[in-house]
Amino acid sequence: MHAPRVLVFDSGVGSLSIGAAIHQLIPQANLLYAMDHGGFPYGEWQEEELVTHICQAVTAVLQRHAADILVMACNSASTAVLPALRSILSIPVIGVVPAIKPAAQRSVSGVIGLLATPGTVARAYTAQLINDFASHCCVIPVGSRILAPAIESLFWHDSNIDEVLQQIKAALSEHPRAAEMDTVVLACTHFPLMQKPLSELLPNLQWIDSGEAIARRVAHVINELNLPLDSAGEHGLQEVLILGKEEATPILKRRLEDSRLCLIDY
């Protein structure tokens, strides 16, 4: 029996925030990060085209690199594509969707920011989550088209992101009830990568993302599938695939190496 391999799929470096949470909880698991740089940004795609694109891309990856579990490590994708993926794949599919429920439970003021891509903010799935778990709250949606690309560009090219973070601060402060906001859901997997600078800019907020909950879910599914994890405490492989025509820049390669991630050929 082999140690489980988990495919952590995103349009880009958002896979790193989810993968880090999984690695932290289950270091023995093998992680294959797929970054669909050619399809980035998913947050700008129309829902139907996105579903078709992701089903094709995931199927192609799995044909070349088998995995036991798929984590769709992208809110913009998961809020649209989970039923389609589950209908075509034989492995368990774990989706990453906005952490509205824990945010509603932890907020004291009942005013919550929802920081996401334009796609995630607009999805019926997100409206349903708000309706189901936060109908007693005031949810302030901020659908940013600049933050995920700025984070992608920071990881690929070391681009400066300060101005973009200032714009996010301004966008989160615009709503008439913004002063009451005590909690922000980071509903794009790129955004937890910037939680530190965001919390320095907006120090009185609690920031909630889905990473730890997803890691617990992966551990549960590994257990359900009876996959072996007790390989003498050894760390699993952490490999990265880049989808699309562009090759990783030296800057991205260095960042991956610094996190002990190894780039492999598609």
Q: Which residues of this protein are in contact with ligand DGL, per CB under 6 A? A: 10-11, 14, 40-43, 74-76, 117, 120, 148, 188-190
Residue 7 C-beta: closest distance to ligand DGL, Å:
15
Helix (H, G, I), strand (E, B) or coil at 261: coil
262 carries an active-site annotation: no
Six token digits for residue 181: 């906001």
CA distance 222 to 208: 25
107 φ/ψ sector (left φ>0, alpha ψ -120 to 50, else beta): beta
CA distance 96 to 116: 12
DSSP notation for 38-68: GG--GGGS-HHHHHHHHHHHHHHHHHHS--S
> How many C-beta atoms surround the C-beta of residue 183 within 10 A?
23
- Residue 76 near residue 189 (C-beta atoms within 8 A): no
Residue 148 C-beta: closest distance to ligand DGL, Å:
4
188 carries an active-site annotation: yes
Instruction: Note if the bond before 41 is cis, omega within 30 degrees.
Output: yes
Set 137, 138, 188, 262: catalytic member = 188
CA distance 227 to 209: 27
CA distance 164 to 161: 5
Nearer to ligand DGL, 79 or 107 (CB): 79
DSSP code, position 189: T
Nearer to ligand DGL, 75 or 107 (CB): 75
Residue 210 C-beta: closest distance to ligand DGL, Å:
9
Strand order from edge to edge, sheet including 138-143: 138-143, 111-116, 183-186, 206-208
Residue 9 C-beta: closest distance to ligand DGL, Å:
10
Crossing angle, helix 162-173 and helix 147-157, to 10 degrees? 160
- What residue type is 148 in one-letter code? A
Q: What positions carry a catalytic annotation?
A: 74, 188
